Structure 1
Amino acid sequence: MKSGRIAIVGMGVTKQGRGLGVTEVELRRQALELALLDAGLERDAIDGYIHASHEREDLRYLGLSPNFSWPVQTGGATASATFVMAAGAILSGQAEMVACAYAMAPSSGGMPGFSAPMSLGSLGYGYPAQVGMIGAASAHALHARWHMDHYGTTSEHMGAVAVQLRNHALNRPDAMTYGKPITLEDHQSSPMVVDPFHMLDCCRDTDGGAVFIVTSAERAKTMAATHPVYILGAGMGHNIAKWHERDVYAHHDNIAPAAARAFAQAGVSLADIDTAQFYDPFTISIIMQLEHYGFCKPGQGGPFVADGGIALDGAIPANTGGGQISGFYAAGFTPIIEAMKQLRGEAGATQVKDARLALASGHGLNGGVQNTWTHGTLILGAEA
């Protein structure tokens, strides 16, 4: 992907929360309406559709007639993948205006892409389910324990992540925990979920939808109503490589190839990034991504956060909307939503001053065994 050739010209985000009582397809329809309004487009402008799910989409309900409708699912890295696919479709002449759509309504009718709400199929994480290893928390706890054993990372370090994300979220009306501060003591006293994770180390599913409209940079320049954000670089990596090397737990993901490709395409360095929006299912996820991207040295992620490294005035303001742990869970779309808001100057009380470049990561869906996650890196810019 040549830097700056692809632009995001519309974003629609529905209300995010618990118990909204709205179906997934209706959430996507609402988000589509908002995205079209944001881009100043009519429905018939959408000639490509990518849906973050295992399942087909009911295009009749959405009122769309695109050249293609592709379901895609790679867990929390799906968001990154949909933008890569949209860019490929546009650059290969398959479409001019592609909608990337997401919705989930776990408290109003189940998880997307699975046959039954909260089915074992969605939570088994490979063959260890046969011996009782169930759920994302138990899988990610292995990363946390590895990090604690090798580097001396503590529960208090993970608690510092939770407190900092809450400090961001409590000032953001779009966050689930708006106006609800926590302390490190609150974190330490919250119930244990899976050792070493307390409840406040964990994200929780929320209902909500999001749609992004993607087109070429040339087409974006003709759209007076838009405030485009450009996809400057994108990269994917897969931790199955580390499984073959028997080093899977030391790596939250195989970030190196994803980051190298994205930064090379964008033609920027880590020092150029103004804000990072990480996929954060658990607090250890931010600690390990800070290290593997190179924002701090290996083993120093916990102290880096505890010393204010991801605060608004820190070395790299991160997850400024509260992330998925304290903001809302729109899978891998949460980081992209916040990156878009930052680059468009729409982040309110947690706006990073002069934000021009943002990193957004995605993470999820194993390669057949737990902890072999896919990773996605996007470098987004306010200018092409």
Structure 2
Amino acid sequence: MASAATTLRGRACVTGIGTTEYTRGKGSMVSNLLLLLRASVAAINDAGLLPTEIDGIIAPITGGSVRELAANLGTTDLRFSGKIDNGGASAVSALRMAGLAVATGAARHVLVPVGWNGYSSFRAREAEELGILPGAVARDYYMPTGATAPPQWFAMLARRHMHDYALRSEALGEIAVAFRAHAQLNPQAVMRGKPMTLDDYLAAPIISDPYRLLDCSLETDGAAAIVVSARERAEDLPSRPVHIAGAAEGHPFPADCYLNRSDTHHIGLHTAAPEAFAMAELTPKDVDFAEIYDCFTFEALQQIEAAGFCPAGEGQDFIADGAIRLGGALPVNTHGGLLSEAHILGMNHIVEAIRQLRGDAGDRQVDDAQVGIVTGFGDFGEGSIAVLTRSAP
């Protein structure tokens, strides 16, 4: 931990962001690789760089190798490559890896793209074959019992929390409604123009108890990308750099089977969050907004607790009275999140955090945003977090 703290804090910046359109309906109508390339070119342009200046690439978990990306982009001086396989925690883990690469001199500018045709071609039931969702445990022990899709697996975590802490369905509804309200202010959100009330949420059909339809994230086509640069190089680029003040990841044990853990509620973020905040020399009280990985409503609540914003079991009280809405004590998922903007595996959360800290979020801008966090949640509890700041630490 000490080594990471001395090499990463304040030594790496996000200098470029880019996205494609996020779509459902007929879908993107292009290949997964082309989505990744479009987002990558947009991020490189935003950073004020040429593709030939990118010397590091971290490949996405959803296909598209470093070789394919480099060849198509014309990246001629590749010095660093990597790939993260932490499910929904991968985007933030990749941000951390990119930060460490530029902070240690392994690369100068690292491209991190993430994207997929998650609506038009990918389906949750195909995830095991593609290696995107949990492996042997899910295949050999959960699926034969009929638990074949993510809503069924993650519903068990939510139900356990309800048993131990008397979590109410209305609290999950507040999360869904708040994120949908934020999406109404986001021109890129898939669910813009489709407002939601708590009554709408409660009337939605049950998918896997306690999850209703509106507890579940969107299936979406699209891609997003970032460029991470060494701080001394970022200062010469045209876009305002956003600083990586701290970042960490954590892994529960056993990784892919929460039913056999000594503490079912323990996830990787419980380990990662204290490390990231210590590296940043900040605390949860310093955070102006949070972009929390929200594959399901409960996972957003669980990570609010795990990141240290409130004690275990007190999340539903913490989010009450509009606390996670714009203007509240801790605005969460100001873009609408995976639930209402798009499911781009959390890279869209990073993009939103950069927009907030640049002051470019338009109608959903958090006033005087100086510190934000982004989290990732993968498989059955892999956790990642980055603490980002507007000013250099």
TM-score with structure 2 setting the length: 0.89
For the pair 1:180 / 2:194, whether they are aligned, the reply is yes
SS at match of 1:76: helix
Equivalent residue for 1:368? none
Query: How many Å apart are 1:248 and its aligned residue?
Result: 4.4
Equivalent residue number for residue 13 of structure 1: 19
Are 1:219 and 2:233 counterparts? yes
Map of 1:149 onto structure 2: 163
What is the number of residues matched between the two proteins?
374
Name 2:250's counterpart in structure 1. 237
The residue identity in structure 2 corresponding to 1:190 is A
Identity %: 36
- What is the aligned partner in structure 1 of residue 300 from structure 2? 286
Q: Is the 8 A contact 1:6 1:216 kept in 2?
A: yes
Within 1, Cα distance between the matches of 2:332 and 2:365? 11
Instruction: Supply the distance in 2 between the matched residues of 1:240 and 1:85 (Cα, whole angstroms).
Output: 22
Alignment of 1:1-384 (within 5 A): 1=4, 2=6, 3-18=9-24, 19-53=27-61, 55=63, 56-57=65-66, 58=68, 59-65=70-76, 66-110=78-122, 119=129, 122-123=132-133, 126=137, 127-223=141-237, 225-240=238-253, 246-251=261-266, 253-365=267-379, 371=380, 373-384=381-392
**What SS does the corresponding residue of 2:111 show, helix, strand or coil?**
strand
CA contact (8 A) 1:343 1:381 kept: yes
| Structure 1 SS opposite 2:207 | strand
Write out per-residue CA displacement over residues 64-108 of structure 1, whole angstroms, 9 at most, x where no aligned residue. Answer: 232243333211111122122212322332211111111111234
User: For residue 239 of structure 2, what is the amino acid of its counterpart?
Assistant: T
* Range that drifts further, 48-57 or 232-241: 48-57
Distance in 2, Cα, partners of 1:38 & 1:13: 11
Q: Which runs of 5+ in 1 are unaligned?
A: 366-370
**In structure 1, how many angstroms separate the alpha carbons of the residues matched to 2:239 and 2:367?**
21
| Structure 1 residue 122 displacement after superposition | 4.5
Distance 1:237 1:218 in 2: 29
Answer whether contact 2:57 2:112 (CA < 8 A) is retained: yes
The verdict on how the C-alpha distance between 1:379 and 1:117 changes in structure 2, with shifts beyond 3 A counting, is closer
Alignment root-mean-square deviation, CA = 2.2
Measure how far apart 1:63 and its partner are.
2.3
2 CA distance for matches of 1:63 and 1:205? 31
Distance 1:213 1:122, change over 3 A: closer
* Distance in structure 2 (CA, Å) of the matches to 1:134 and 1:120: 15
How far is the alpha carbon of 1:160 from its aligned partner?
1.2
